Amino acid sequence: MKETNSEIIEKPAAAEGTQLPAGEGNIKTESTLFAEPLFHVGGLKVTNSLANSWLVVIIVLILSIAIKRSIKAVPRGLQNAFEMIVEGFLGLFDSVTGSRAKSMKYFPLVFSFFIFILLSNWMGLLPGVGSIGQVVAEGREKVFVPYFRGGTADLNTTLALAIIGVVASHVFGVMALGAWHYLNKFINFKAFLEIPKKIRQDPTVLVVNPIKAFVGLIEIIGEVAKVASLSFRLFGNIFAGEVLLASMSALLAFGVPIPFMFLEVIVGIVQALIFSMLILSYLTMNTSAEEH
């Protein structure tokens, strides 16, 4: 990927020499924390990360259709590989959920997270992603804007994924436990309603149950923290990987980035796995009855 980076770094110099007056047309090629906009469709600002996500969607679409076409009772080729992956994941999920029925129920959602994140992470490593782009004038400066940027190297994407995951875990929780019971996990009405009943037997409920209610409030903060930690962990890892690769190729474009490429391939899998397994554990936790 980043072999071409050296050219890009050189390009501004060449451009400077030939076309632009000195001091005015320095093209900036810094890695930004945000995804740069490419163009606008209606009110929507299409960023390079969004474009990359669309590519991921297209790849998933093609793969899925290929799998659907090749599905037979006796598996062969692509279906075999896919089944092997699915079986492996089901085994892993069983160790978290504790039952095959639950694993099967959450599998499509969690597996979709894994595939989407994995492909987005890896798409960011492809040659050309982050290195082929256009030069855009931004005020007085000229800025290099790549056409593609890893989908997960944009907080909008990771935040969207984290919100879907956490909201889904609550939806499944309400479905599994019932709205009233589920609501009491967070805003503990039950704890207060219990006080008049139990106070004669055990006066300590006067102290214990308000604490229980307070714990419920902490859980609400916990849910916000879940979204924050999920989104920032994924974004941070992938964005850091891209910056790392860019710096390594800036040092020496040939050879040096290769070990880091392998590292980033592994990071891509690990982060996708961490994200999906965390969503799975939230799903499992929220659908099982409260124990404390």
Partner 1 sequence: MDSLISTFHLDVKLLIAQIINFAIVFAVLYFFALKPLFRVMADRTATVEKGLEDAKKIEQRLVQAETERNEIITAAKKEAAAVMEKTAKEAALRRDELIAQTKEEIGAIINTEKEKMRAEKASTLKEIKAEVADLVALSLEKLLDKKLTGKDDAEMIKKIVKDVK
Residues in contact with partner 1 by CB under 8 A are: 33-35, 43-45, 47, 50, 53-54, 56-57, 60-61, 63-65, 67-68, 71-73, 75, 79, 82-83, 86, 104, 107-109, 111-113, 115-116, 151, 154-157, 159-161, 163-164, 235
The pairs formed by 130-133 with CB atoms below 8 angstroms and a separation of 24 or more are 130/1, 130/2, 130/242, 130/246, 131/1, 131/2, 131/4, 131/5, 131/8, 132/4, 133/48
The candidate with the shortest Cα–Cα distance to 233, out of 270, 186, 188, 189, is 270
Least distance (Å) between residue 51 CB and partner 1: 11
The beta-strand segments (E) located in 81-157 are 133-138, 141-146
What's at 114, amino acid-wise? F
Nearer to partner 1, 56 or 129 (CB): 56
Nearer to partner 1, 59 or 220 (CB): 59
Q: How many CB atoms lie within 10 A of CB 142?
A: 19
Nearer to partner 1, 171 or 206 (CB): 171
Least distance (Å) between residue 152 CB and partner 1: 10
Q: How many CB atoms lie within 10 A of CB 107?
A: 17
d(CA 103, CA 284): 9
Least distance (Å) between residue 23 CB and partner 1: 29
Least distance (Å) between residue 72 CB and partner 1: 7
Least distance (Å) between residue 212 CB and partner 1: 30
Which residues contact residue 103 at a Cβ distance below 8 angstroms, ignoring those fewer than 6 apart? Answer: 90, 93, 94, 97
Nearer to partner 1, 25 or 37 (CB): 37
Least distance (Å) between residue 178 CB and partner 1: 25
What is the length of the chain?
292
Largest CA distance in the chain: 90
Nearer to partner 1, 93 or 177 (CB): 93
Nearer to partner 1, 28 or 45 (CB): 45
Least distance (Å) between residue 2 CB and partner 1: 23
Please report how the helices 48-70 and 155-177 are oriented relative to each other, as an axis angle in degrees rounded to 10.
Answer: 50
d(CA 172, CA 288): 10
Nearer to partner 1, 4 or 70 (CB): 70
Least distance (Å) between residue 225 CB and partner 1: 15
Element housing 66 (H / E): helix 48-70
Nearer to partner 1, 68 or 200 (CB): 68
Say if residues 121 and 152 touch (Cβ distance below 8 Å).
Answer: yes
